[in-house]
Amino acid sequence: MKTSISIVLAMTATLTAGTASANQMYLNLGSNSYDDDREIVVFGTVIPGVNTARDTNFTTASFISFGFNDILATSIYDMTDGSVYGNFIDTNNLSVLNSYGIPETGTSLAGNTTVNLKQPNCVGGQCDLNTLNPIQYGDDEGFMQSWDLQVNYRFEGILTTSGISFTSGYLEISFNDLSNDTFSGGIRTAINTGNPNEKTLLHADLTGSSINAANLDLFFDVTSAVDDFFWIDNGRGTYLDPHDTALTGEYATIRLDTNIDPPIPTADNLLLLPANFPFTTGTPYAVAAIRQTELDGSIRMAIPEPATLALLGIGLLGIGAVGRRGKLFGI
């Protein structure tokens, strides 16, 4: 199914292939149950049993970008040759962090500071996208009240004396149902899985990077997406589904904008793991220097407007969302 109702008005425009810059988008949850189940939180305490549904549709208002704050980024630098320059990995993947024994505390490479490496506090928000900009409150279908979006990533790159460049890797965005999590006094204490709607919504492969001073942009192709959840304006008022464009090999794109300060790590914030550190599955380097930073930023999406989509019969109307919570997003 696969375009929003504005396609008929813009069909002529879609016959001209091109690539849109970052534009507005909206999310389709396929059911109003998450809007019905939103909760009011007052000073950290959930007020139960209050139906605060804002509308009868299944979609958020249009927005420009996802925002994130304080995502804990772990940078792992290959030190097998005795130098921090060369290959590195940035990740929040727990299997990689576990393979290095993180959490870990020790003296920095400079020898004058203590470095405390931690696992990301996902229950506290260090793994999620927490805003739909510029939506403040209202037509968000219960975002951050009855559901949220978790991110998992692993990026590879090269560090030189002149800076950093990212060469490969992936970014995944997953749906998390808050009703399945554990809360105490209105504060989340555990993220649990198992709800049928909790799945990977999007997988994007890193295609390149750009850095100017501390400002870092990462670029991705959306190589797979859940059908009927993301809808992105192609720049001409037509909202398209990145699931469909991925099937044709014409991928939606992502630009992740954040800051790394300083871009080149300093010895006082690096912890060296010794050569005899246990080498386990998932450990990329036998000897590594590791630092952690907290990142703020945004994620914007754009989508191509290929003529091939029209030829595939994309002109059918309607989102076609299902109406019950047990089976969302057209799956």
Give the model's pLDDT for residue 128: 96
Residue 232: burial class (beta carbons within 10 Å; 0-12, 13-18, 19+): buried
Buried b (16+ CB within 10 A) or exposed e, 54-63: beeebbbbbb
Q: How many other C-beta atoms can be found within 10 angstroms of the C-beta atom of residue 136?
A: 8
Spatial CA neighbour of 329 closest among 220, 241, 265, 240: 241
pLDDT at residue 297 is higher than 90? yes
End-to-end CA distance of the chain: 12
pLDDT tens, 83-93? 999 999 999 99
Alpha-carbon gap, residue 321 to 330, rounded angstroms: 6
Residue 140: burial class (beta carbons within 10 Å; 0-12, 13-18, 19+): buried
Give the model's pLDDT for residue 52: 54
282 or 71, greater pLDDT = 71
Give the model's pLDDT for residue 145: 86
User: How big is the CA angle at 252 (ends 144 and 302), to the nearest 5 degrees?
Assistant: 70
Query: In which band, very low, low, confident or very high, does the pLDDT at 323 lie, cut at 50, 70 and 90?
Result: very low
Give the model's pLDDT for residue 93: 93
pTM of the model: 0.82
182 or 31, greater pLDDT = 182
pLDDT at residue 204 is higher than 90? yes
pLDDT tens, 112-167? 999 999 999 999 999 999 999 998 767 888 899 889 999 999 999 999 998 899 99
Give the model's pLDDT for residue 304: 83
Give the model's pLDDT for residue 149: 97
Percent of the chain with pLDDT over 70: 77
Alpha-carbon gap, residue 58 to 207, rounded angstroms: 33
Average pLDDT rounded to a whole number, residues 208-235: 95
pLDDT at residue 40 is higher than 70? no
Is 299 in contact with 65 (CB distance < 8 Å)? Answer: yes
Structure tokens at 171: 């970014």
pLDDT at residue 317 is higher than 80? no
Percent of the chain with pLDDT over 90: 59
Domain limits, the chain:
7-311
Instruction: Please report the sign of the dihedral spanned by the C-alpha atoms of residue 58, residue 62, residue 65, residue 69.
Output: negative
Residue 248: burial class (beta carbons within 10 Å; 0-12, 13-18, 19+): middle
